[in-house]
Amino acid sequence: MQARRAARELALILFSQMDFLSGSDKLDFQDIIIKSVRTLTNSSIEELNNSANSILEIKEYINEYEANHPDNIERPIGLHDKPVPIPTTEEMRNKLDDLMNIAEKTMLALEIAEMSALEENSEVKDYIKTITEKYKIHKNDIDNQIKKYAQGWDINRLVKMDKDILRISICELLYVQKAPYKVVIDEALELAKKYSTDDSASFINGILGKVVLENNLK
């Protein structure tokens, strides 16, 4: 996993749960990273626990479908059911998609935790520090960019996760400038798909596209 991707994810968690960005106190970034990693891993553990019910439902569905299949109903009593083809249904696909998403988030949490724990790898910490410090300096300008391009939307009523993704991304695009704009936008869309609503990715993509165009970042 790329260090900057890990830093973006941790920064999003940090932005979403702490109101430190308007203060002037010096930030303890090591403490911030530890708390953010803990939040991410705890969330993944909770989702894994919740996914157990989905796994049981899928297993029960398969067992029931197999037992009630004509090939097994006609078998003599006492014989084990034999495997049968199972149809792919929308409900089953959705359940499997949920489980895959949970698995991806868990693996990501472990990767971020590993990278953050490595003493010799300070790129994650440094990139989070850069994003947060640049945002503190340019907070008003960044929020004004969101207001300008989120036509018809009140910035105070935007989904907080969407607003934080936009803040991090616009900060990277305008004031950090260490990654190509396409990479920044792609990572923002991935965060939106993972943590926000179904419509968030297209909404965020539209605003960031305008930021890139209007600021001649291409």
What pLDDT, on a 0 to 100 scale, did the predictor assign at position 8?
85
Which pLDDT value is given to residue 206? 92
Number of domain units in the chain: 1
CA nearest 108: which of 100, 98, 96? 100
pLDDT at position 205:
93
* pLDDT score at 174: 95
Dihedral sign for Cα 148, 154, 157, 159, please: negative
Contact (Cβ atoms closer than 8 angstroms) between residue 123 and residue 189: no
* Predicted pLDDT at 1: 46
Separation CA 172–CA 133 (nearest Å) = 11
In which domain, by residue range, is 89 found?
3-214
Question: CA angle at residue 54 from 72 to 51, to 5 degrees?
Answer: 145
* Per-residue pLDDT, 119: 45
Report the CATH number that the domain containing residue 89 is assigned in CATH: 1.10.940.10
CB 105, CB 44: distance < 8 Å: yes
Q: What is the pLDDT of residue 189?
A: 93
Whole-number pLDDT of residue 210 = 93
Q: Which of 4, 3, 6 is nearest to 109 (CA)?
A: 6
How many helices (H) and strands (E) the chain has is answered by: 8, 0
pLDDT (tens, 9 = 90+) of the chain, 218 residues, equals 477 877 787 788 778 765 555 554 555 666 666 666 677 677 767 777 777 777 787 788 888 888 888 888 888 877 888 888 876 677 777 777 777 777 776 776 666 666 555 544 577 778 888 898 899 899 999 999 998 888 777 666 778 889 999 999 999 999 998 889 999 999 999 889 888 877 889 899 999 999 999 988 87
pLDDT score at 30: 65
Opening angle at CA 45, ends 40 and 51, nearest 5: 125
pLDDT score at 25: 52
pTM of the model: 0.65
